[in-house]
Amino acid sequence: MKHAVEIDLIDEVLALKSAGSAFLNAAPTQSPADRYVSKDRFRQEQVRIFIKLPGIVAHVSELANPCDFITREVAGRSILITRDKGGQVNAFVNACRHRGTRLVGDGQGSKRHFSCPYHAWTYANTGELISAPHFDRGFPGCDKSSLNLVRLHAREAFGFIWVTVNPDENFDFDAFFEDIAYDLESLHMADMDIKVQNTQLRYANWKILIEGGIESYHFKIAHKSTIGPFFEDNLSTCKMLGTHMRSVLPRSTIGDLKNQPRDRWRLRDHANVLYTLFPGCQILAQQDHVVWISIRPQSVGRTEVRLATMAPKNADQSQDYWQKNHTITTETLNEDFSIGESVQNNAETGAVTTMLFGRFESALDTFNRRVEACLDRPSCR
Ligand code: FES
Ligand SMILES: [Fe+2]
């Protein structure tokens, strides 16, 4: 982030704090429960958002060397991601072109070739079909070169590997991230590795889990036993950077900055900065590390959440230090996720038909309106 922007963001928070105010929307808004429980709505989100937009499948350190591969699920489909011997990243539908068997089981490793467990059609890690037993006798007239693995759009950027299942023809990756690219590059995530991670399944709609992180109204209450004491009460700001969102979540030390020279102000020393990369990825930038939060919808009421604490590869801190940080983050986010599951349950049973977003929860309304804009206008720009 540019230092001038850091100063502006700090000024904004300090002004709200000294006025005893908060970052306010014009009026409260309603959020119908249908957004979180409708199966039809969920299908539309998958088709119009998750398969159309790039999603992170891995950090570059997970596919660091030539011939590394990994399998991941994107919008419900199994995807094979490889780094070929030329160093290029490739993504394929993880399905054999003969009769559709899943080519590679869940996992990761290093391989040049992948042989199908059914009849041994064998593919290079560039996707090319290189051998198929008795092919000439069994498949006369079939063009072998048209039976390579189905390739998907894959891209390395900001330290991650992104895959798009079915982008619109004129989709422009660089334009999609243009307004947030500088901030993401400044985090130097390509020079990091994953120190600690965990994955869990949560029984809540993906949007409820995102909503839990982008307001601070709940900090002092829901997180009273974890991070609540270290943060300002109900004081946070947010700004859309294109389709994505940057939230500033100030810690209670932020007021100390008034007595320090402005040119030494550093936002991350006194606030967490949360980037919500539309649709389902969040990067929580803390003082000396980032947490990559991957929100992957499995069904309307079930979501896989992966939390990864990442820090510079050459950081001095011990593994124990990162483990402790990761544990605090996980405990805190689990408080949000458990509450989110209770909201989901009340919505699913019909006990709750609408929710209210207060003026200081404007980020939630903004996020949901962004989702709805994508459902109406599939290009999402
Ligand atoms: S389905 Fe893969 S070789 Fe037959
Ligand atoms: Fe929270």
pLDDT in tens, 272-287: 999 999 999 999 999 9
Q: Where do we find the tokens 């007239």?
A: 141
Answer whether residue 39 shows pLDDT above 70.
yes
- Closest atom of ligand 1 to CA, residue 101: 1
pLDDT, tens only, 327-364: 999 999 999 999 999 999 999 999 999 999 999 999 99
379 confidence band (pLDDT: 50, 70, 90): low
Domain match, 358 and 304 both: yes
174 Cα to the center of ligand 2, angstroms: 31
> Hey, which of 96, 97, 147 would you mutate to test ligand 1's pocket, going by the most ligand atoms within 8 Å of its Cβ?
96
State which residues have CB under 5 angstroms from ligand 2, the bound ion.
336
Ligand nearest to the CA of 114: 1
| 66 within 8 A of 83, measured Cβ to Cβ | yes
Answer whether residue 380 shows pLDDT above 80.
no
Q: Average pLDDT, stretch 12-34? A: 90
Domain match, 339 and 298 both: yes
Ligand nearest to the CA of 122: 1
Using a 6 Å cutoff on CB, does residue 148 contact ligand 1?
no
Q: Collapsing DSSP states into helix, strand and coil, what is residue 366?
A: helix
Domain match, 100 and 246 both: no
- Closest atom of ligand 1 to CA, residue 96: 2
For residue 381, tell me if it sits in a domain: no
381 confidence band (pLDDT: 50, 70, 90): low
Share of the chain above pLDDT 90, in %: 93
For residue 64, tell me if it sits in a domain: yes
Domain match, 198 and 149 both: no
Domain match, 326 and 245 both: yes
Domain match, 230 and 356 both: yes
23 confidence band (pLDDT: 50, 70, 90): confident
Expressed as residue numbers, the domain containing 83 is: 55-164
Using a 6 Å cutoff on CB, does residue 102 contact ligand 1?
no
Domain match, 48 and 62 both: no
Residues with Cβ within 8 Å of 87's Cβ and at least 6 positions away in sequence, in order, are: 66
Distances (CA, A) of 33 to 40, 131, 347, 377: 13, 52, 6, 22
pTM for the full model? 0.95
Final residue belonging to a domain, choices 128, 148, 164: 164
Alpha carbon distance 192, 198 (integer Å): 17
Final residue belonging to a domain, choices 101, 136, 164: 164
- CATH number, domain of 71, equals 2.102.10.10
- 362: which DSSP letter? H
Domain match, 185 and 160 both: no
Domain match, 195 and 149 both: no
Final residue belonging to a domain, choices 164, 184, 200: 164
- CATH number, domain of 297, equals 3.90.380.10
Alpha carbon distance 29, 80 (integer Å): 42
Domain match, 215 and 313 both: yes
Domain match, 150 and 78 both: yes
The encoded tokens of residue 37 equal 């429980």
**Of 206 and 232, more confident:** 206
For residue 83, tell me if it sits in a domain: yes
Using a 6 Å cutoff on CB, does residue 119 contact ligand 1?
yes
In the chain, how many domains are there?
2
378 confidence band (pLDDT: 50, 70, 90): low
Answer whether residue 190 shows pLDDT above 70.
yes
Residues with Cβ within 8 Å of 112's Cβ and at least 6 positions away in sequence, in order, are: 67, 85, 124, 125
pLDDT, tens only, 290-303: 999 999 999 999 99
For residue 60, tell me if it sits in a domain: yes
Domain match, 277 and 359 both: yes
